[in-house]
Amino acid sequence: MAHQLYSRQINKTTLPQTSNILSSALQHYINSDTPFHGQKIHTHIIKTGFRPNVNISIKLLILHLKCRCLQYARQMFDELPQRTLSAYNYMIGGYLRQGLLEESISMVRRLDLDGERPDGFTFSMILKASTSGADVILPRNTGGLVHAQILKLDVKADDVLYTALVDSYVKSGKVGYARKVFDMMLEKNVICSTSMISGYMSHGSVEDAEEIFRKTVEKDIVVFNALVEGYSKSVETAMKALEVYVDMQRFDFRPNGSTFASVIGACSVLAGFEIGQQVQCQLMKSDLYKDVKMGSALIDMYSKCGRIEDARRVFNYMPVRNVFSWTSMIDGCGKNGEPREALELFHRMQQCNIEPNYVTFLGALSACGHAGLVTKGREIFESMERDYSMKPRMEHYACMVDLLGRAGNLQQAWELVKGMPEKPNSDVWAALISSCNIHGDVEMAHIAANELFKLNAKGRPGAFVALSNTLAAAERWDSVSELRETMKLRGISKDTACSRVGTEIDL
User: What's the rounded Cα separation, in Å, for the pair 55 and 158?
Assistant: 26
For the chain, the maximum distance between any two Cα atoms, rounded to a whole number of angstroms, is: 106
pLDDT of residue 63: 87
Q: Of 211, 157, 209, whose CA–CA distance to 184 is shortest?
A: 157
SS3 for 209-260 is: HHHHHHHCCCCCHHHHHHHHHHHHCCCCCHHHHHHHHHHHHHCCCCCCHHHH
The total domain count for the chain is 2
pLDDT of residue 497: 47
Give the end of a domain, one of 32, 52, 82: 82
User: What's the rounded Cα separation, in Å, for the pair 147 and 119?
Assistant: 12
DSSP string, 145-163: HHHHHHHHTTPPP-HHHHH
pLDDT of residue 483: 64
User: What's the rounded Cα separation, in Å, for the pair 191 and 163?
Assistant: 7
Establish if 283 belongs to a structural domain: yes
Residue-wise pLDDT tens digits, 205-252: 999 999 999 999 889 999 999 999 999 999 999 999 999 999 999 999
Domain that holds residue 11: 1-82
User: What's the rounded Cα separation, in Å, for the pair 336 and 345?
Assistant: 14
| Residues contacting 368, CB < 8 A, separation 6+ | 339, 343, 374, 376, 377, 380, 403
Q: Please determine, for residue 362, whether its predicted confidence score (pLDDT) is greater than 80.
A: yes
Residue-wise pLDDT tens digits, 107-124: 878 887 887 888 888 888
Predicted TM-score (pTM) of the model is 0.74
Which pairs count as long-range contacts for 96-104, CB under 8 Å and 24+ apart, including other chains? 96/125, 96/128, 96/129, 96/132, 97/65, 98/68, 98/70, 99/132, 100/70, 101/129, 101/132, 101/133, 101/134, 101/137, 102/134, 102/137, 104/129, 104/134
Establish if 497 belongs to a structural domain: no
Mean pLDDT for the chain overall: 84
Establish if 430 belongs to a structural domain: no
User: What's the rounded Cα separation, in Å, for the pair 456 and 297?
Assistant: 35
User: What's the rounded Cα separation, in Å, for the pair 279 and 255?
Assistant: 11
Establish if 245 belongs to a structural domain: yes
pLDDT of residue 16: 47
Give the end of a domain, one of 290, 320, 350: 320
Q: Is 419 exposed, middle or buried (0-12, 13-18, 19+ CB in 10 A)?
A: exposed
Contact 457, 463 (CB under 8 A): yes
Give the rounded distance of the alpha carbon of 213 from its chain centre: 23
Establish if 340 belongs to a structural domain: no
Higher pLDDT, 50 or 253: 253
Residue-wise pLDDT tens digits, 1-28: 445 545 454 444 444 456 777 778 888 8
| Residues contacting 498, CB < 8 A, separation 6+ | none
pLDDT of residue 60: 87
User: What's the rounded Cα separation, in Å, for the pair 65 and 70?
Assistant: 6
Q: Is 194 exposed, middle or buried (0-12, 13-18, 19+ CB in 10 A)?
A: buried
Give the end of a domain, one of 320, 345, 360: 320
Average pLDDT over residues 145-153: 83
Residue-wise pLDDT tens digits, 293-320: 999 999 999 999 999 999 999 999 999 9
Establish if 139 belongs to a structural domain: no
